[in-house]
Amino acid sequence: TGASSSTSSNPVGEGQKLPGVVLDKDGKPCRLCTSAASWRTMAKKASAGGMAAGAAVAATSSSSSASSTSTSSPSSLPSSLTSSTTATTTTKPECPPDVEELGRSTWTLLHSLTATYPTRASAEQQTEMRSFLGLFSKLYPCWVCAEDFRSWIADPSGKNQPRLSSRAEFGQWMCEAHNAVNRKLGKKEFDCNFWEERWRTGWKD
């Protein structure tokens, strides 16, 4: 690849070694070629040397025209805050979720709860799930979402009350609940005949 580990062409500071840091052809550190651990070590050395770690790395990459050393995330981030620590993938800072990411993750949890629900639920199991849904609809972190969800469940006709006697019923109900949100957001509705394929059994070939 032409990349090599740097000890001589040191972009951080005179005399500092950069073990494991792979250089681009132009002699600058190649972030996409270097493990996050080595990158961090380099950043720490830069920091200890009196140069801000981010600035050190920016200085080593910003003037590069031929390399792929673009640093889309602050190099000084600890690995616990990055989504990848492999040598060849760009690391991205993990940020707090937005409404969509929160929603996707939550629907995964909710539909998975239906997928693992008993085929015939005991009275106690139904009570537990009812209680979970009651608390969930109060505590869901997007408060406007939670409010609308509660209103939907509490429809005066009673038609949206959770149906919890069996997995089949609960799965169907959750699909309808999700479709109510889909409709509100102008999204395509999901065909609830396929909720089990999507969330439990997988699709038939």
Segment lying near ligand FAD (by CB under 6 A), choices 42-50, 86-94, 161-169, 185-193: 185-193
In the complex with ligand FAD, which residue's Cβ is closer, 40 or 178?
Answer: 178
Return the bridge partners of 22, or none.
Answer: 5
Give the footprint of ligand FAD on residues 139-158 (CB under 6 A).
Answer: 140, 144-145, 148-149
Paired tokens of 166: 């069996």
C-alpha Rg value of the chain to the nearest Å: 26
Question: How many CB atoms neighbour CB 20 within 10 A?
Answer: 15
The Cα–Cα gap between 58 and 74 comes to: 9
CB of 196 to ligand FAD, least distance (A): 10
**Angle, helix 123-139 to helix 143-153, in steps of 10 degrees:** 140
Q: What are phi and psi of 54, to 5 degrees?
A: -65, -40
In the complex with ligand FAD, which residue's Cβ is closer, 83 or 151?
Answer: 151
In the complex with ligand FAD, which residue's Cβ is closer, 128 or 147?
Answer: 147
> Contact letters (x/-) for ligand FAD, 99-138, by CB under 6 A?
xx--xx-xx---x---------------------------
Each residue of 119-138: b (16+ CB within 10 Å) or e? eebeeeebeebeeebeebbe
In the complex with ligand FAD, which residue's Cβ is closer, 45 or 111?
Answer: 111
Q: Should residue 185 be labelled a site residue for ligand FAD when binding is judged by CB under 6 A?
A: yes
Helix (H, G, I), strand (E, B) or coil at 23: strand
Among 17, 163, 198, 200, binds ligand FAD (CB under 6 A): 198
Binding site for ligand FAD (CB under 6 A): 99-100, 103-104, 106-107, 111, 140, 144-145, 148-149, 175, 178-179, 181-182, 185, 187, 190, 195, 198
